[in-house]
Structure 1
Amino acid sequence: MIKNWFKNIGPGTLVAAAFIGPGTVTICTLAGVNFGFNLLWAMLLSIIATIVLQEMAARLGIISQKGLSEVIREEMKIPFLKHFVTLLILAAIVVGNASYEAGNISGGILGLETIFGKSILNFGDISINLMSSVIGVIAFVLLYIGNYKFLEKALVTLVLVMSVSFLITAIVTKPDIVEILKGLFIPRFPEKSLLTVIGLIGTTVVPYNLFLHASLVKERWNKTEDLKLARKDTIISIILGGLVSMAIIVSAAAIPFGEITNAADLAKGLAPLYGEFAKYFLALGLFAAGITSAITAPLAAAYVAKGCLGWSGGLKSRKFRSVWIIILVLGVVFSSIGIKPIDIIKFAQVANGMLLPIIAGILLWIMNKKSVLGNYINSKTQNIIGFVILAITIFLGAKGILKVFNLI
Structure 2
Amino acid sequence: MDMEENKTVLAARAAIARQRTGIRGLLPFLGPAFIAAVAYIDPGNYATNIQSGSEFGYKLLWVVVLANLMAMLIQNMSAKLGIATRKNLPEMCREHFPSWLSYVLWGFSEVAAMATDLAEFLGATIGLNLLFHIPLLTGTLITGVATYVILMLDRFGFRPLEKFIGALVIMIALCYLVETFLSKPAWGQVAYHSVVPWMSGNSDAVLLAVGVIGATVMPHVVYLHSSLTKDRVIARNDTEKKRIFGFSTKEVIIAMTLAGLINLSMMYMAASVFHAHGQTQVATIQTAYKTLTPLLGPASAAVFLVSLLSSGLSSSAVGTMAGQVIMQGFVGFTIPLWVRRVLTMLPTVIIVAFGINPTQTLVISQVILSLVLPAPIISLIYFTRRKDIMGVLTNRRIVTYAATACAIVIVFLNLVLIYQTLGGPLPA
TM-score normalised by length of structure 1: 0.86
Rounded to whole Å, the distance in 1 between the matches of 2:302 and 2:316 is: 21
Rounded to whole Å, the distance in 2 between the matches of 1:347 and 1:260 is: 16
Distance 1:22 1:67, change over 3 A: same
1:337 and 2:357 aligned: no
Aligned residue number for residue 94 of structure 2: 73
Aligned residue number for residue 40 of structure 2: 19
Rounded to whole Å, the distance in 1 between the matches of 2:89 and 2:191 is: 37
Q: How many pairs are equivalent? A: 388
Q: Which runs of no fewer than 5 residues in structure 1 stay unpaired?
A: 121-127, 312-317
1:287 and 2:283 aligned: no
> Is the CA contact 2:89–2:227 (under 8 Å) kept in the aligned structure 1?
yes
Distance 1:295 1:2, change over 3 A: same
Equivalent positions of 1:255-294 (< 5 A) are 255=274, 256-258=277-279, 259-294=281-316
Aligned residue number for residue 138 of structure 1: 146
Offset, 1:172:
1.2
Rounded to whole Å, the distance in 2 between the matches of 1:15 and 1:5 is: 17
| Offset from partner CA, 1:208-230 (integer Å, 9 cap, x none) | 11101111112423221211121
Distance 1:228 1:346, change over 3 A: closer
Offset, 1:43:
0.8
Aligned residue number for residue 363 of structure 1: 380
1:33 and 2:54 aligned: yes
Which residue among 136, 160, 184 is the counterpart of 1:150? 160
Which residue among 202, 224, 243 is the counterpart of 2:214? 202
Percent identity between matched residues is 23
Rounded to whole Å, the distance in 2 between the matches of 1:200 and 1:309 is: 30
Aligned residue number for residue 256 of structure 2: 238
Q: Secondary structure in 1 aligned to 2:52?
A: helix
Aligned residue number for residue 123 of structure 1: none
Aligned residue number for residue 187 of structure 1: 197
Q: Which runs of no fewer than 5 residues in structure 2 stay unpaired?
A: 1-21, 236-240
Rounded to whole Å, the distance in 2 between the matches of 1:280 and 1:3 is: 36
| Offset from partner CA, 1:334-393 (integer Å, 9 cap, x none) | 365356699x99998787555422322221111111221112111111122112112112
Offset, 1:294:
1.3
Equivalent positions of 1:209-228 (< 5 A) are 209-223=221-235, 224=241, 225-228=243-246
| Offset from partner CA, 1:106-133 (integer Å, 9 cap, x none) | 211222222222x33xxxxxxx621222
| Offset from partner CA, 1:25-59 (integer Å, 9 cap, x none) | 10000111011111111111111111111111100
Give the letter aligned to residue 192 of structure 2: K
Higher mean displacement: 3-12 or 379-388 = 3-12
TM-score normalised by length of structure 2: 0.83
Rounded to whole Å, the distance in 1 between the matches of 2:231 and 2:302 is: 36
- RMSD value, Cα: 2.7
Rounded to whole Å, the distance in 2 between the matches of 1:130 and 1:186 is: 44
Rounded to whole Å, the distance in 2 between the matches of 1:96 and 1:391 is: 19
> Is the CA contact 2:320–2:340 (under 8 Å) kept in the aligned structure 1?
yes
Give the letter aligned to residue 201 of structure 1: I
